[in-house]
Structure 1
């Protein structure tokens, strides 16, 4: 057991004075006056030792009290000068240190509070990871974007969340940024960075949705091109077709039959090209929706009846599972066009014996088919303007559907699930 300095000092003074008392007693006991004087001196020496001990212990007690206050993170305690030079110097240094610590603590708390408010108010999702790359917290935008509470995700690694977007970011490195497209339409920019926390690196992710900006930019770009093409092509085709029609009427059937037939074929080709350009122009000239209460169950049944002939030709079943009185506030004509486009694509993805099912609920419409699944590299391009996997496809159907649904403010996605069924979901 180790003795403290205090105990050693007291023991030393006690032993020293005890020895001195015994020596005085042995040597001066016969001389009463000198003996009494010596005893008085020893008593005064013992008292002086106690006073010196208290003087020596005062700075130590002061330092001990200061350390306890700092340990308790109490920076409000300050000491009053005692009038003793050495102690007052220590008190002055301590008070100055406490003032600096208090100011630094206030500054750090203000910065931390500001940073928390800034993160919470950020329009982009921010995910903070711990030292083991597990999710520690999300800001408000992140919680609303993933439609989950932070407790659902906290403690999980990105690949363990079950969210495709976060799983895509699991292998990102600090300082890396990436553009990610999910379900063929939603586009996100993700960036991973880090900060120092108690001397160790901690990473965080910033995820910004760019879907609306990219769609608007694409629309402006292809709209300008289509308008220019339509103007030039239609002007040329109109004049050319007029010349062809006039020339055809001037020629007689007996002498110029072959030429008239060639002119007729050229005229038909002109008209087909005109219709082709009109399809493109329809995407640009799409009017704003005029919503009205529409029974989506009835609308789905009408569209499935309309599509039966095309489906029967491929030996594909189109089944309507829409309930009655499922009312949505939509532009009926435009939504009918969306359903026709999507069901047509679903039928064309099926082979003989397969089927398409259409389901309507108060919150969503789902068009499902068990035909050919969508390949991964194709899924990210499906809603690109005028992209098509068909040899003779123009890519108009999904582009037009995208515009109509976007103008209605509906969410939508097209993907093949783990069960092999491909779903086009429309959610309001």
Structure 2
């Protein structure tokens, strides 16, 4: 479609035409032909009425004639712009009301036509986006409504704004929660659940419901929706999941214990039979060796059972102020390591016996990784209000799978391992109010970081 002259050129042409018309009118009034025509009428028609012939009179007459012409030309120029502005005003009002079906119909080939086409394209885009958004909202609502996690969204006055099916069944016997006071709904729930929901913090709690115990994980978040404060609360039933994990853990424990018992009881049984046969034959010279092997396997089995017992009966830590030099000297008597940093000036705050046992296990693991003795290092540093103790080696490190499970009880990659060393270290660290992390080193090897608080509280 061929493009017509733009508005600027057309306005320039019309203004030029108006200027030329004004000049011609002024010339006609003051120079020719109006003065000659007036002189002729005075001479031949003997008119006695005075007629304007001076420059000022000509200017006034020109204005009188040019004013209607200017108004007409202005109407021609501004009429399409005015229609466009009215149409855009209607479109904006329609968009404000959420109606994106408004389109402007006009066949123009100038800037106004481009604006009309851009407006219509914008309307089409908004309609498509609104349709896609509606479909996504429908999908999201379907997912949220059918999730087993109970979801409750409440406003600043604690009125329920949104709740899914699981929440309706949990708090109102399947009936709608919309507009209800959530605090009043919680009055009919167990006290533990009510306190946790009103407390504003995430929690893992067990409550008595319908004659049985239910474990919930509660997540709570505050945020602003459309400029107003809201709270989102998620109540996830964990009973089945925890039960499955408990069963899986017990199965793993049974497998490990059964494997270790079989490895010890089978040779004990065989050696006992052999000892009885030697005694029957009177061959007493070989009996001490048989009894020694039986005793060795019994001691190994006793140590294995004692390890599990110590993990299950780990006493609460008794932290105290620890002077670094005696502590490190005592640790060096049990294992070899290279100290990378000077000890902090501030004393430590932990149970010396428990942390020493953790470090002995970590340093022992570092040596068993295949690292050289010089590659096993220990570093101490203060970070904020925490103490970080770091044991590092130059072994092969761990795969992502092993890293994700290394701290779990009974998980071990060693054929003779019990899977309790790192789990015990984690238990001790968390009992101190700290944590333990594992990470591969960029240059090769593993880094185990033990983070402990520097003081009580």
**So what's the TM-score if we normalise by structure 1?**
0.47
Rg larger in 1 or in 2? 2
Q: With structure 2 as the length reference, what TM-score do the two structures score?
A: 0.45
Q: Greater RCO between the two (CA within 8 Å, min separation 6)?
A: 1
